Amino acid sequence: MIPADKLARWQSALPFWGSFLLIPVAWLSAVQGGWYVILPPLITWYLFTALDGLTGLNLENADPETPPEDLTWYRLLTSLWVPLQFVTLFGTIWYVTHSGHLSVLEKIVLFFGIGVITGTIGINYSHELMHQKNRLERLLGDVLLAMVLYSHFRSEHLLVHHRYVGTPRDAVTARYNEGFHRFYPRVLRESLVSAFRAEKARLARKDRPWTDAKNPFWRYWGFQGAMLVLAFLLGGWAGVGLFLIQAGTAIWQLELVNYVEHYGLTRKYLGDGRYEHVLPQHSWNAAQKATNWLLINLQRHSDHHYKPDRRFPLLQNYTAAEAPQLPHGYPIMTMAAMIPPLWRRVMNPRVRQWRAMYYPEITDWTPYTKATNPMPKGSGSR
């Protein structure tokens, strides 16, 4: 176990700061053009896959009782990323729309790559920030989400996903045998609706209408509108188009990861509308070291759902006896998810093995795999 005094050193936090190298890579791509525009996705997807092979697995856990004052370098990392991403995104929009050295195709590929960065890093950091009690951190998380036009993710994630994960009421939990290309349009539609309904219900419990100023959707829409206006002021309609390309790419990256994190895993229905408590076994775990550096331990997703208030350096790794394990890190798994036959070949046997290991008493899984069924009839088991 990593003791608190060791965790507090800047040297321990340094590997997680590797994501900041993607900022100069984005600028290099914009300035040089040509084949350089493919560097952001190339590094994010393939370089870290190669580094996973070289660095292996990180099975070591930090002391979960480490006090907050020993996590300064980790907290600074996620907060400092926000202004750097803001300047990079809007700076490159202004730069490429006021210089003539990039073709239209190069600009499109460039902002696809920037979307890979804002989706892989930016949304991931917003996820860490939105889980904190500190108002400034939560505000910074909102700014990151507004930069990709996905602000409702905060409400959906905190009020819906964490509450209903592993049940048919959670749009983000990918059903067994549901390919990503069916999952993606469904989750885009359902997560927006469920987020709005959750906020509306929260206000109703206080006898307030959804139009109340306390509804965060007003803030979401205001921030997103400001981002679109800024893109227009800096680059005209071309700037708005480039902004939309990176936002769409970022959302796609997020939902690819969401698809991987819970595919086929469900909580047992206990009757009377109740499900068992969320446990580490209800999320896929991955211990690839380099990708966990890049994604600030997001692959330790089993522990994140078990203990949502833990900051990323304190998230625990679980063994195969405690939580289901992905065969590879997120970069490889998200690429596999784009090819449903390959994905099913790799993951369906693992889901079936998981079912036999944790729920041998359940013989009829049909109610758990139908997204249209609000809950299994009876217990779903015999």
What is the pLDDT, as a whole number, of residue 138? 96
Query: For position 371, what pLDDT does the model report?
Result: 52
121 vs 296: CA distance, rounded Å: 9
pLDDT at 380: 39
Q: Give the C-alpha separation, 324 to 336, whole Å.
A: 18
Structure tokens at 22: 């993607």
Given a contact cutoff of 8 angstroms between Cβ atoms, the answer to whether 172 and 262 are in contact is yes
Global pTM reads: 0.93
pLDDT of residue 35: 94
Please answer whether residues 195 and 210 qualify as being in contact, where contact means their C-beta atoms are separated by less than 8 angstroms: no
Share of the chain above pLDDT 70, in %: 97
Compute the Cα dihedral for 65, 69, 73, 75 and give only its sign. positive
Q: pLDDT (tens digit, 9 = 90+) per residue, 270-285?
A: 988 889 999 999 999 9
Mean pLDDT confidence for 187-194: 96
Mean pLDDT of 71-96: 97
226: which residues sit within 8 A by CB, 6+ positions away? 146
Query: Is residue 374 over pLDDT 80?
Result: no
User: Residue for token digits 């804002």?
Assistant: 118
**pLDDT for residue 24 is more than 90:** yes
pLDDT per position as a tens digit, 325-361:
999 999 999 999 999 999 999 999 999 999 999 999 9
> Tens digits of per-residue pLDDT, 218-254?
999 999 999 999 999 999 999 999 999 999 999 999 9
3-class secondary-structure state, position 57:
strand
Tell me the mean pLDDT in the region 178-186: 97
| Helices and strands counted in the chain (H then E) | 18, 2
Instruction: Say which range, 177-181, 284-288, 361-365, has the weakest mean pLDDT.
Output: 361-365
Type of residue found at 327: P
CB 296 within 8 A of CB 16: yes
Strands of the chain (E only): list them: 269-271, 274-275
Burial level of 309, CB count in 10 A (0-12/13-18/19+)? exposed
Query: In whole angstroms, what separates CA 286 from the centre of its chain?
Result: 14
- CA dist., res. 309 & res. 329, Å (int): 23
Q: What is the per-residue pLDDT for 370? A: 67
Nearest to 148 by CA among 260, 43, 223, 239: 223
State the pLDDT at residue 8. Answer: 87
Contact between 195 and 155 under an 8 Å Cβ cutoff? The reply is: yes
| Span 114-139, average pLDDT | 96
Q: Are 100 and 34 in contact (CB under 8 A)?
A: no
Of 56-60, 182-186, 238-242, the one with minimum mean pLDDT is 56-60
| Cβ-based neighbours of 182, under 8 Å, separated by 6 or more | none
Roughly what angle, to the nearest 10 degrees, separates helices 330-337 and 340-358? 110
pLDDT score for 3: 80
Q: Token digits for 47?
A: 């370089």
Which of 235, 245, 255 is closest to 330 using CA atoms? 255
Distance in Å from the first CA to the final CA of the chain: 42
- The span from the CA of 365 to the CA of 332, in Å, is 28
Alpha-carbon distance of 56 to 305, in angstroms, equals 24
Q: Report the alpha-carbon distance of residue 179 to residue 378 in Å, rounded.
A: 28
Q: Which of the pair, 374 or 60, is modelled with greater confidence?
A: 60
Q: pLDDT value at position 322?
A: 93
Residue 311 scores a pLDDT above 50: yes
Domain locations in the chain? 4-369
The residue with greater pLDDT, 367 or 227, is: 227
Summary mean pLDDT of the chain: 93
Encoding tokens for residue 220?
Answer: 């979401």
Q: What percent of the chain stands above pLDDT 90? A: 89
Q: How confident is the model at residue 182 (pLDDT cuts 50, 70, 90)?
A: very high
**For residues 161 and 190, is the Cβ–Cβ distance under 8 A?**
no
